[in-house]
Chain A
Amino acid sequence: MTQAVAADLPIWAALPVALLLLLGAGLALTGTLGLLRLGSFYERVHAPTLGTTLGIGCVLIASMLYFSVLQTRPVLHEVLIAVFMTVTTPVTLMLLARAALYRDRREGSDQVPPPPPPPRGGQEEGPDGTTEEMAAMDRAELAERR
């Protein structure tokens, strides 16, 4: 099946398709290797974006080029996936990083920076400084969300 289909492709189209495929897959492998090897979560959150932006861009351009040459008409529906990934990847990773930061602060970890000071008038004095500070942060976030 592969040979029968790919035999119709001229060499000037097969060469960039092959190179872009290998580049995209190699970038995805590099990003996932970073996910496996890096030390902390905040380092690991950077690594897979290599594959989710540039890697998938290369694979989609290869697919567009391949099907456009094969069907002798412009095949552009891969642009849908490209636009969707470009829009959604920062959103999901920012949500995830904020959730991780919230969890680390809630546990009192010293690996993360302290929370920003609460807005004026939102803080009350309590016997336990840490939990009161956390509660003030929760109230500030709730007020921000409303």
Chain B
Amino acid sequence: MTAAALLLTWSVLLAQLFLGLAMAFAAFRVLWGPRAQDRVLALDTLYVNGMMLLLTFGIRTGTTLYFEAALVIALLGFVSTSALAKFLMRGEVIE
């Protein structure tokens, strides 16, 4: 194994560990958040961290397949977070 492959393998593994830990922290805040807005904020953080983890998987496997999944997560996450914020503000999403 060359030095570049060794460096890349270990740094990708460490980045995945970091991101997994970050997702665990965000999941903790989703479950034990004292109020509803804390849970929504933690859900937002959770999907951003999951998107970064998918991009890291893309670098690990060398395929661009994971990019589409990351893009879909970004789009749906924006819609869901703004809908939940609207729900907290008004009590209904579509009025």
Which A positions have Cβ atoms within 8 angstroms of B? 1-3, 5-7, 9-11, 13-15, 17-19, 21-22, 24-26, 28-29, 31-33, 35-36, 41, 44-45, 48, 51-52, 55-56, 59-60, 62-63, 66-67, 70, 75, 77-78, 80-81, 84-85, 88, 91-93, 95-96, 98-100, 102-103
Contacts and interface: CB of A to CB of B under 8 A. Distances in A.
Contacts of A102: 88-89
Interface string B34-68: 01111011101100110110011011111010010
A11 B4 contact: yes
Contact of B41 (A59, A62, A63, A96): A96
B89 to A, nearest CB: 4
A109 to B, nearest CB: 11
B12 A96 contact: no
B45 A98 contact: no
A15 to B, nearest CB: 7
Interface residues of B, number: 56
A35 B41 contact: yes
Contacts, number: 191
17 contacts: A2-B12, A6-B5, A9-B5, A14-B7, A18-B12, A21-B56, A25-B14, A25-B18, A36-B25, A41-B35, A81-B51, A81-B67, A81-B71, A84-B75, A88-B74, A93-B44, A96-B41
